[in-house]
Amino acid sequence: MKGADGMATETYDAVIIGSGHNGLIVGNYLAMAGLSVCVLEAKNVIGGCTATVECTLPGFKHDIGSVALGAIQSNPVYADDELGIREKYGFEFIDTKKNGATLYPDGTGVLEDGDLAHELEQIAAYSPEDAQAYGRFIQEKARLLPLISTGMSTCPPPMGLFVNQLNSTPEGRDLFKSMSMTALQMAQQWFKHPKTISHVLKISTEVMVTPEDAGSAMWMMFVAVGNAFRSGSLPKGGSIALPNALAAALKDRGGKIVLNKKVTKINVENGRAVSVETEDGDVYVGTKAIISNVDARRVFLEMVDGYELDPKFKRDLEQIVPAPMSGVMQAVAIDDAPHYKAGPEFDDAVVVEPIPENFQDLLDGYRAMVEGRLPEKRSLCPESLVPSLFDPQRAPEGKHVLYLWQLAPSGVGEEGMGWWKNHPEEVERFARDIREHFFSYTTNLSEDNVMAYKVFTPDFYSEWNENIIDGNITGPGAYLFQSYAYRPLPEIGQFRTMIDGLYLTGMGTHPGGAVTGGGRGTAQVVLEDLDIDWDDTLDNK
């Protein structure tokens, strides 16, 4: 309906800002509970950072944000199919068998195929001592994995309680120790050979922290253990398949998704969030809840209207510590799949990462990024995937899509993020260096095999998705003081805010960046506040 001022007004039980996978997950659970739900999306497509597009040539379908989506597989959203996205809406992962591979400049590598014994054989080829140590490391740290993964899909407990819980068991104390250690410290405690240290340091950077950041040790062991025991996978049809399935499920549950509706204001009356306004002047009333996928800094510093922020809270928002680096992604259309110098068994690994054998070169690259400099060629370590190897619909027959991701500074020098636009020739040179570096680890690829490519820099990501602040593709820095119930700040770290009826979800909240399905935890909190039983909600599947 339209009011006297000509603005359209619609009323729902719950209004959700943003159609990223977390917002769609929240919407589905609320709709299952019988609430009327409306999701407002600023762009003309759903999905947020889960996007698959034809950006090089027709028929070449590239993921330009999230890619493998492995983190959601342990979440009941997928594992128990609580929303029916697998059984009813066809979302599925392709089992690729081999998970990942590390390649070294000397033509050797380590393949991670879910067979720990095989992985240890490869390490033993250059260091029998490290092979024994790696086996002990994986077996010991595997006991900690449930402590990390269990709470990823629920509301985190208060930080004090969380620490006390960890302190009550040997495994918990070991985990907490890793939360304050650097990956470099842990790696040097366990391993001797530069290749092994370089291998584990690289995997510690998955959440956009450096191996010298406190807490990176936890991410190092988390990824290493996961890679040692699980096979690889990719979402069939690209990352967009997840939000597409969630959107279909939500619509069948009576939910509504409105595109091209950028929310600019959250109206607060008497301490309660009551409605949102969009850029075109429409008003959407949320009688029971308003849930924002948008970063808390934008929510409270730019969008909330009618509520006076506590000065300290405002300052704390402004002082949220960003991730130390971002990255440059290249979507490349190629006329052949890569064949690696390390051997044919590496050709069908999902994630292949060429890295320096000397871990000091690796560290020098990260240090350069933290200081706002591009890494030198010797420090390059691009993460690569060729999804069309496993999902032929992603490219024309005989051709392939190549995903290349190289960590890089969010901004360069005094120009900051503006550098990427101000120096197109240098950006092009950097991108070419990355491609050529990757091709040098293959026996068959060069620039001659490139049919087309598109380069995505940190400034692009911030323009593409306003939830990505300063190129931080995984949200605020993944440090302990900004994790769990402290993400992004203690006052709002359990999805509720100090404004009644206003909730947060998305990568700026627990459990952080990556496609984890963390919106499930937000949904639990909202329903708890509405006195709606969670188990009864699941019965409505």
Mean per-residue pLDDT for 496-517? 97
Q: What pLDDT does 8 receive?
A: 79
For the chain, how many residues are written? 541
Mean per-residue pLDDT for 243-270? 99
Q: Please, which residues have CB within 8 angstroms of residue 109's CB and are 6 or more apart in sequence?
A: 101, 102, 103, 122, 340, 342, 343, 346
Q: Tokens 């291998």 correspond to what residue?
A: 199
Contact 246, 85 (CB under 8 A): yes
Question: Does residue 2 have a pLDDT over 60?
Answer: no
pLDDT in tens, 104-151: 999 999 999 999 999 999 999 999 999 999 999 999 999 998 888 778
Mean per-residue pLDDT for 516-533? 98
Q: What is the H or E stretch that residue 25 is in?
A: helix 21-32
Q: Of the CATH numbers 3.50.50.60, 3.30.300.280, 1.25.60.10, 3.40.220.10, which one belongs to the domain with range 9-50+69-90+236-320+475-538?
A: 3.50.50.60
Burial class (CB within 10 angstroms; exposed 0-12, middle 13-18, buried 19+) of 149: middle
Distances in Å between the Cα of 378 and the Cα atoms of 101, 206, 429 are 19, 20, 15
- Could you tell me if residue 260 is left (phi over 0), alpha (psi between -120 and 50 degrees) or otherwise beta? left
pLDDT averaged over every residue in the chain = 96
SS3 97: strand
Q: How confident is the model at residue 175 (pLDDT cuts 50, 70, 90)?
A: very high
Share of the chain above pLDDT 90, in %: 95
Question: Does residue 6 have a pLDDT over 70?
Answer: no
Question: Does residue 206 have a pLDDT over 50?
Answer: yes
DSSP summary character for residue 500:
B
Contact 400, 389 (CB under 8 A): yes
Domain ranges for the chain, please list them.
9-50+69-90+236-320+475-538
Q: How confident is the model at residue 215 (pLDDT cuts 50, 70, 90)?
A: very high
CA dist., res. 275 & res. 267, Å (int): 5
Which of 521-540 are b and which e, b meaning 16 or more Cβ less than 10 Å from the residue's Cβ?
bbbbbbbeeeebeeeebeee
Q: Which two tokens stand for residue 239?
A: 């990352």
CA dist., res. 163 & res. 485, Å (int): 11
Which of 260-279 are b and which e, b meaning 16 or more Cβ less than 10 Å from the residue's Cβ?
ebebebbbbeeeebbbbbbe
CA dist., res. 460 & res. 427, Å (int): 13
Q: Which two tokens stand for residue 25?
A: 């997950």
Q: Please spell the DSSP secondary structure of 118-166, one letter per residue.
A: HHHHHHHTT-HHHHHHHHHHHHHHHTTHHHHHGGGGSPPPPHHHHHHHH
Helical spans, DSSP H, in 170-306:
170-180, 183-190, 194-203, 216-229, 241-252, 296-298
Pairing, β 351-354 against β 109-112: unpaired
Mean per-residue pLDDT for 371-390? 98
Nearest to residue 69, comparing CAs of 243, 220, 199? 243
Distances in Å between the Cα of 462 and the Cα atoms of 56, 238, 251, 465, 475 are 21, 22, 29, 5, 11
Question: Does residue 257 have a pLDDT over 60?
Answer: yes
Share of the chain above pLDDT 70, in %: 99
CA–CA–CA angle 165, 169, 172 (5° rounding): 65
Q: How confident is the model at residue 541 (pLDDT cuts 50, 70, 90)?
A: confident
Q: What is the H or E stretch that residue 352 is in?
A: strand 351-354
Nearest to residue 213, comparing CAs of 174, 177, 172, 184? 184
pLDDT in tens, 276-308: 999 999 999 999 999 999 999 999 999 999 999
CA dist., res. 21 & res. 510, Å (int): 14
Q: What is the H or E stretch that residue 454 is in?
A: strand 450-456
CA dist., res. 23 & res. 316, Å (int): 25
